[in-house]
Amino acid sequence: SVSPMLPWWWFFWIVSTMLGNASFRLAMRAEEINTLLIANVVTQLSDVAGIPLSLIVLGIIGKVYDMQMNHAKVEKSI
């Protein structure tokens, strides 16, 4: 079955990626310090979105590990 955390992972991945892309584009076309400061804020927002992204993937990996261990126990008992 699909983990209920997977849609949240996708959400944070898309948000993080879009913010990172926007930050890069802002920084590349910046001609004033204000634009670079805005790009920096957008980068920080992208980084903040990466925190739950990482935590969610750790949770998903933990669930996959648990499922594999349960499967191995069933295989061993047969």
Per-residue pLDDT of the chain (78 residues; tens, 9 = 90+): 778 899 999 999 999 999 999 999 999 999 999 999 999 999 999 999 999 999 999 999 999 999 999 999 888 887
Please name the residue that has the structure tokens 């191995």. 72
Q: Measuring CA to CA, how many Å separate 45 from each of 10, 22, 52?
A: 17, 11, 12
CA pair distance 56, 50, nearest whole angstrom = 10
- pTM value > 0.95: no
Residue 66 is encoded by which pair of tokens? 């648990």
CA pair distance 32, 28, nearest whole angstrom = 11
pLDDT number for residue 20:
97
pLDDT number for residue 32:
97
